[in-house]
Chains A and B, each alone.
Chain A
């Protein structure tokens, strides 16, 4: 089982709709969760972080976390064609030796069509 799983997509939504991106993770003790956006041919950029159960809103983006279900999601309201990108879910996990690492999912490709 992969440590961080995402549906690869593509997820196709019409302009103005809500895009819902989902991510599940395997480590029950994980405490920190992140969403990165990656445009085609570009590097990932951090768009959201969430640490507590519930919702966190930032503009058109809302991150949702449910630690009991080991589930984190990203909602994009009023989707725009410029939101078309691959969205990477990342989870901070602890490993032996006291080091923490950021484990990335394979990403979900979002396509917003006019």
Chain B
């Protein structure tokens, strides 16, 4: 069955370290998204991509970067982790038409000490 996976599921890191969170989908969806979820804020969009080589900033993109070299993967990199980036990160994907119907991965819990 097609699916969307994230790894690692849990990560503890130290302030200043570079961290990369992986997202892989097998639906062949054009669109992929990264969100963070914090208590009281709901889901906030970090970066998104509408296809290979296309990446765009979301509302909370500072300190994060993404690259899209193929359809299946959209890794999220925290360039220099900060305690404010402690959060739950969700990756999502959607087909080219009907991009609003987003399918979410299981999430990654990141703790920055």
Contacts and interface: CB of A to CB of B under 8 A. Distances in A.
Is chain B a partner of chain A in the same complex? yes
Interface residues of B, number: 21
A49 B42 contact: no
Contact of A101 (B40, B45, B103): B45
Contact of B106 (A32, A43, A92, A99): A43
Contacts of B48: 101
Contacts of A4: 42
Given A88-B43, A104-B42, A106-B42, A46 B101 contact: yes
B43 to A, nearest CB: 4
Contacts of A103: 45
A101 B58 contact: yes
Nearest to B102: A102
B100 interface: yes
Given A49-B101, A92-B100, A43 B107 contact: yes
Q: Is the interface of A mostly helix, strand, loop or mixed?
A: strand
Nearest to A46: B101
Given A101-B45, A101-B58, A44 B40 contact: no
Report, as a range, how many residues of chain A touch the other chain.
20 to 34
Interface string B96-113: 000111111111000000
Interface string B37-53: 00011111100100000
A5 to B, nearest CB: 10
A88 B59 CA distance: 18
B90 interface: yes
Minimum-distance CB pairs A-B, first 7: A106-B42, A43-B104, A104-B43, A104-B42, A44-B104, A92-B100, A43-B107
21 contacts: A4-B42, A34-B100, A42-B106, A42-B107, A43-B90, A43-B105, A44-B43, A44-B90, A46-B101, A46-B103, A49-B101, A88-B42, A101-B48, A101-B59, A102-B45, A102-B100, A104-B35, A104-B42, A106-B40, A106-B41, A107-B42
